Amino acid sequence: MIRSVRSLTLLGATGSIGKSTLDVVARHPDRFRIHALTAHRNSERLISLCLRIAPRFAVVEGGDAAREVQRVFRAEGCRTEVLEGLQGLLQVATDPESDTVVAGIVGGAGLLPTLAAVQAGKRVLLANKEPLVMAGSLFMDAVRENGAELLPLDSEHNAVFQCLPGNFSRDGLTELGVRRILLTASGGPFRDLPVETLSAVTPDQACAHPNWSMGRKISVDSATMMNKGLELIEACRLFGLPGSRVEVVVHPQSVIHSMVEYVDGSVLAQLGNPDMRTPIAHALDYPARIESGVEPLDLFRVGRLDFQAADQDRFPCLRLAYEALAEGGGACIALNAANEVAVDAFLQGRLGFTDIAGLIADTVEGFGACPVSSVDDVLLADREARRLAGSLLDALVGGHA
Ligand code: NDP
């Protein structure tokens, strides 16, 4: 069968997901063409990618970053057109010349471009979980109404996707005999550290994940287990199950990427080396399977697979995510916004590791309930929650300044 060449827009090309995606794509020059690459401020990396790949468009934040990219392109005779800021992101996310959008921006900044790609009916490969946490049912309704194809890149959700029958519908998992989703978690770098030492851990320690190589924000999220909390919410939204039917299982080897338990007692798992190129390759050419460059899994070297329950006292962020999911309304938006503010403050050395959960809890509690029935409501709630988290942060760290 001859398959048409896919034309890709890569949102967040300069990040970790961007790097892994470009690695897989480079192995299949006959299958994929890069239409657009986007960055935020890392103009140096964007320039080097564009000089090598020559996409039709490059997007970068306006101002100095954009001027620098344009200057180098002119000097090098590179014909890639430079677009700026959110307008540029929206343009490339919806461009009819591209059929597939990889959502690899970090945080809530990915919401509007990713949603725009969905509304344009694209195949969307979703790594950026925060939009789904923030806009939940609005996002999933947009997928259905616009005939978009949403394929999860997060390794856990991609694993669940692979363990479900090919024709599953998000409203029909119970009819298919699915009892639960078992979401695996490595437990991050601090799984076995004495709890009383956690308050002193540094950003570099938090970013040194034992199994996965990722961007700094998601690495800190993994260390607090808020990443698993966001993934729990993501799983409920993607697969249409309540939080009570998604269990987090700590599995330190990160070889099983998640499991689906059926009513007959079967548990299906997807295994592989912890390398994002596997889920990326799976989704890029789905349903075809393509080489990803990932080493075959050597089960004899792995030797054993361990499992334990997630300790919500050690990792209060996970409990906060379950609670926000149950509360609904704006609670998940506040959770996500406060987490972004707290992680940023931790990475800047302004907030201690164990204060992250407290700041999130206080923000969600102070934010209260709010109706969310449109994207404008989401954006407003996000802004308000960030403002509240920012002022709580100032009050908290002001005393230490
Ligand atoms: P990185 O920090 O490595 O990369 C983030 C990308 O987003 C960069 O290209 C960055 O540009 C861009 N970006 C940052 N802020 C903005 C903004 N305001 N507007 C536009 N673009 C922006 O993150 P990761 O690749 O690790 O993660 C990306 C997403 O994928 C996250 O949501 C994460 O949770 C999810 N994910 C990541 C996994 C991984 O293995 N890394 C695994 C599963 C999910 P610049 O470089 O210019 O700052």
Dist. CA 139 → ligand 1 center (Å)? 19
Residue 17 near ligand 1, beta carbon < 6 Å: yes
Average pLDDT over the chain reads 96
Mean pLDDT over residues 281-293, rounded?
97
Contact 284, 275 (CB under 8 A): no
Mean pLDDT over residues 149-167, rounded?
96
pLDDT digits (tens, 9 = 90+) for 171-207: 899 999 999 999 999 999 999 999 999 999 999 999 9
Dist. CA 127 → ligand 1 center (Å)? 9
Residue 182, helix vs strand vs coil: strand
Report the nearest-CA residue for atom 39 of ligand 1: 214
Please indicate, yes or no, whether residues 373 and 270 belong to a single structural domain of this protein: no
In the structure encoding, which two tokens stand for residue 362, read together? 């206080």
User: What is the phi-psi region of residue 254: left when phi exceeds 0, alpha when psi lies from -120 to 50, beta otherwise?
Assistant: left
Contact 116, 86 (CB under 8 A): no
* Calpha distance 353→226 (Å, rounded): 12
Q: What percent of the chain has pLDDT over 90?
A: 93
Mean pLDDT over residues 209-238, rounded?
94
Q: What is the pLDDT of residue 1?
A: 60
Dist. CA 28 → ligand 1 center (Å)? 23
Contact 142, 149 (CB under 8 A): no
DSSP 53: H
DSSP 3: -
The CATH number for 364's domain is 1.10.1740.10
Please indicate, yes or no, whether residues 215 and 90 belong to a single structural domain of this protein: no
Q: What percent of the chain has pLDDT over 70?
A: 99
Q: What is the pLDDT of residue 210?
A: 85
Residue 41 near ligand 1, beta carbon < 6 Å: yes
Residue 400 lies inside a defined structural domain of this protein? no
Please indicate, yes or no, whether residues 343 and 317 belong to a single structural domain of this protein: no
Structural domain count of the chain: 3
Residue 42 near ligand 1, beta carbon < 6 Å: yes
In the structure encoding, which two tokens stand for residue 202, read together? 């540094």
Q: What is the pLDDT of residue 2?
A: 65
The CATH number for 112's domain is 3.40.50.720
Q: What is the pLDDT of residue 244?
A: 97
Residue 215 near ligand 1, beta carbon < 6 Å: yes
Q: What is the pLDDT of residue 167?
A: 83
Q: Where are the beta strands (DSSP E) in 91-163?
A: 100-103, 123-126, 149-152
Q: Which amino acid is at 332?
A: C
Per-residue pLDDT band for 401 (boundaries 50, 70, 90) equals very low
Phi, psi (rounded to 5 degrees) for 342: -70, -45
Mean pLDDT over residues 355-367, rounded?
97
Mean pLDDT over residues 154-182, rounded?
94
pLDDT digits (tens, 9 = 90+) for 48-92: 999 999 999 999 999 999 999 999 999 999 999 999 999 999 999
Residue 127 near ligand 1, beta carbon < 6 Å: yes
Residue 20 lies inside a defined structural domain of this protein? yes
Please indicate, yes or no, whether residues 44 and 130 belong to a single structural domain of this protein: yes
Dist. CA 13 → ligand 1 center (Å)? 8
Query: Domain range for residue 367?
Result: 328-391
* Calpha distance 350→211 (Å, rounded): 27
Please indicate, yes or no, whether residues 360 and 318 belong to a single structural domain of this protein: no
DSSP 350: S
pLDDT beyond 70 at 170: yes
DSSP 255: -
Please indicate, yes or no, whether residues 104 and 42 belong to a single structural domain of this protein: yes
Please indicate, yes or no, whether residues 86 and 191 belong to a single structural domain of this protein: no
pLDDT digits (tens, 9 = 90+) for 373-383: 999 999 999 99
Pocket test for ligand 1, best of 45, 89, 214, 224 (most atoms within 8 A of CB): 214
Please indicate, yes or no, whether residues 159 and 211 belong to a single structural domain of this protein: yes
> Which domain-ending residue is among 96, 128, 152?
152
Mean pLDDT over residues 97-111, rounded?
97
Q: What is the pLDDT of residue 284?
A: 98
pLDDT digits (tens, 9 = 90+) for 304-330: 999 999 999 999 999 999 999 999 889
DSSP 80: P
Residue 130 near ligand 1, beta carbon < 6 Å: yes
Contacts of residue 394, defined as CB under 8 A and 6 or more positions apart, other chains included, come to none
Residue 213 near ligand 1, beta carbon < 6 Å: no
* Calpha distance 343→216 (Å, rounded): 9
Dist. CA 104 → ligand 1 center (Å)? 5
> Which domain-ending residue is among 104, 136, 152?
152
Helix/strand/coil (H, E, C) string of 287-315? CCCCCCCCCCCCHHHHCCCCCEECCCCCC
Q: Higher model confidence: residue 209 or residue 220?
A: 220
Q: What is the pLDDT of residue 316?
A: 97
Count of other CB atoms within 10 angstroms of residue 96: 8
Count of other CB atoms within 10 angstroms of residue 120: 18
Residue 98 lies inside a defined structural domain of this protein? yes
Please indicate, yes or no, whether residues 336 and 319 belong to a single structural domain of this protein: no
pTM to 2 decimals?
Answer: 0.96
> Which domain-ending residue is among 152, 179, 195?
152
Phi, psi (rounded to 5 degrees) for 184: -85, 150
* Calpha distance 391→310 (Å, rounded): 31
pLDDT beyond 50 at 371: yes
Query: Tokens 């006292």 map to which residue?
Result: 313
On the CB side of 389, how many CA atoms lie within 13 Å of its CA?
29
Query: Tokens 């002022």 map to which residue?
Result: 391
Q: Shortest CA distance to 245 belongs to which of 229, 261, 258?
A: 261
Q: Taking the chain, what is the end-to-end CA distance rounded to the nearest angstrom? A: 65
Please indicate, yes or no, whether residues 353 and 294 belong to a single structural domain of this protein: no
Q: What is the pLDDT of residue 166?
A: 87
Residue 396 lies inside a defined structural domain of this protein? no
In the structure encoding, which two tokens stand for residue 210, read together? 């034992």
pLDDT beyond 50 at 129: yes
Mean pLDDT over residues 103-110, rounded?
96
Residue 128 near ligand 1, beta carbon < 6 Å: yes
